[in-house]
Structure 1
Amino acid sequence: MDAKRFLLRCAVNLILLENEKVLLLLRGNTGFGDGNYGVIGGHIDGDETAREAVIREAQEEVNIHLNPECIKFVGTIHRKLSHCEYIDLFFVAESWSGLLENKEPVKHVHYKWFELNSLPHNTMPLVNTAISNYVNGIFYDEFGWDE
């Protein structure tokens, strides 16, 4: 049988917390969500677990090391875009080692801490939904299906 199977993309996202504040990165020059705040994250590269991917992304983007035991899975969002679908996995960490540094200034203009209940107006809608879900204990959601 030569049936073409549907492929689903998967991304990992890190809600990094410190003193009830979340670290957001202002996106720039990426072609997706530029001018808006997002969280640490990216695609799973393959041959790595989701937890390994979020650890790698944290190192690549802001130069921090996460202990796998300190990363907590907090939710999934099934996201629909015009050209594809994603499963976004969200994790939370409240401890890490290393000094925060913008390691990808071409993709991130800067990073900044924000109160969980006072996100900037230009937070990516997916991220805004995910943080709200985390605060409200919602572990599964769907995004972009009504557009």
Structure 2
Amino acid sequence: MFSEKGFSLVEVLVSLTILSVSVIAFSNLFIQADEISSGNNQKLVATNLARMTLDRIQQKPIDYGIKVPIKDVYSNEKCYDLTADACNNLYTTIINNVKYSINVTTSPGDAKEVSANLFPVIVTVSYQLKEKSKDTSVEGYVSYDK
């Protein structure tokens, strides 16, 4: 027959210990998943910002102070024909409390690109992730009139 004593103190302590270890292991898993998700979100924002910047440069490179087709790097520190405030607004932004810095690298291109009136552009967006600097780049072409 069955005994009606119930569980002993040792059995309860052992089961609570096993349960505690399991909960701690799963909580670390959730913390890591949250950190990875946050990092992926910042990279996605940086990639979309780089694509948007490239699209805007393709429409009007002069709005970004870009002189074509010369090899140069444009950033918050280096703008042509723009005020400091306009340059700062174009090349830096804060999204979700993260500061993103935009660098645009242009080059004259090879003979085929020059004959097609295209010059290569690389837009690089930099941001901080856990005290490490991360970069995301998008490449494309901008057309120009000779």
Larger Rg: 2
- Same fold judged by TM-score > 0.5? no
TM-score, length of structure 1 as denominator length: 0.24
Structure ranking higher in helix proportion:
2
